[in-house]
Amino acid sequence: MSKLMVLSLILSALLVFNIIYLSAAELQLFQHAAKADGSLSLLVLGDWGRKGAYNQSQVALQMGIIGEKLDIDFIISTGDNFYDDGLTGVDDPAFYESFTKIYTAPSLQKQWYCVLGNHDYRGDVEAQLSPVLREMDSKWLCLRSFIVDTEIADFFFVDTTPFVDKYFTEKDHNYDWSGVTPRQSYLLNLLKDLDKSLKESTAKWKIVVGHHTIKSAGHHGNTQELNSQLLPILLENDVDLYINGHDHCLEHISSSESPLQFLTSGGGSKAWRGDVDWWDPKEMKFYFDGQGFMSVEITQTQVDIVFYDVSGFVLHKWSRNKQLHSTF
């Protein structure tokens, strides 16, 4: 065997090792301290990046007002950060025009934790994940899947777009799958790492964030791939909230199977689709087919959820209490 062939085999083996190692890497963990009294407050926004159009700027204005009142610690984006086709690169002016230029209120100059949506996958995914954008605007942080540990609550951010079969077959749009293939290995490792991280979590509250719906009465409805692959893991690990975007509405659905609540905050800009499917009234707690956002306040014993419309009016409130210490 020639030296060239041996070298080629070694390089191939190293490449395979690196692919396996990277795909099996555990979810990246970020620490974000709660307030001195142990409480936490944040805003949740989804489906927003339209350079201020479709009431994006008005929603941003109200977010700034509510964010100041609640003294928020950070903001969550549930994806579809840049319409219609993500970013073209790190130098795409849409990043400034749809993000930095819009969310200017002092209260919103906190860390933004962002996941990717299906529209983001139509552009240069690596651009949104790039540290170059963090250098351009320090509040931006977007990764495929990761964890934010606040001690009082753990937030598990999940890259949901690769779960959806139709994106791999439709011919109308091109998707950037460069960091996802081989798809099945990517999904299996993600689910394994999420399950492991949820089981290891000692936080009082467990909250999972993704772009796509699990339960929804909106335009897109339920995402069957998440119902079959992701939902069982959430139920098994006693997740308290699943927060998503994708449907351009505000929505709260309870679960008859567990205490798990499904919360949609996808009203960051274009909304008012006008197509709502009937849902079991025992589970459907709230639906608003319009623009707005959501706040979450957390203490050791209570979570408070509030939905606001584009004018800052309160549309819906929900709370859950837990005992400070578990009883056996």
* Residues catalogued as catalytic: 220
- Sole residue written with tokens 């605007």: 137
| Nearest alpha carbon to residue 270 among 46, 24, 17 | 46
The span from the CA of 17 to the CA of 22, in Å, is 8
- Beta carbons within 8 Å of 43's beta carbon, 6+ residues apart: 63, 66, 67, 70, 72, 75, 76, 108, 293, 294, 295, 296
Measured CA to CA, the distance from residue 254 to residue 285 in angstroms comes to: 7
Residue 10 sits at φ, ψ, to 5 deg, of: -65, -45
Number of neighbours of residue 256 by Cβ within 10 angstroms: 7
- 8's enclosing H/E stretch is helix 3-23
Residue 186 near residue 180 (C-beta atoms within 8 A): yes
3-class SS of residue 101:
coil
Phi, psi of 31 (to 5 degrees): -95, 130
Identify the CA nearest to 201 among candidates 163, 226, 162, 233: 233
Per-residue DSSP letters for 54-80?
TTHHHHHHHHHHHHHHHT-SEEEE-S-
Distances (CA, A) of 77 to 7, 143, 164, 204, 293: 46, 11, 20, 22, 10
Evaluate whether 300 touches 38 at the Cβ level (below 8 Å).
yes
Pairing of strands 140-142, 146-149: unpaired
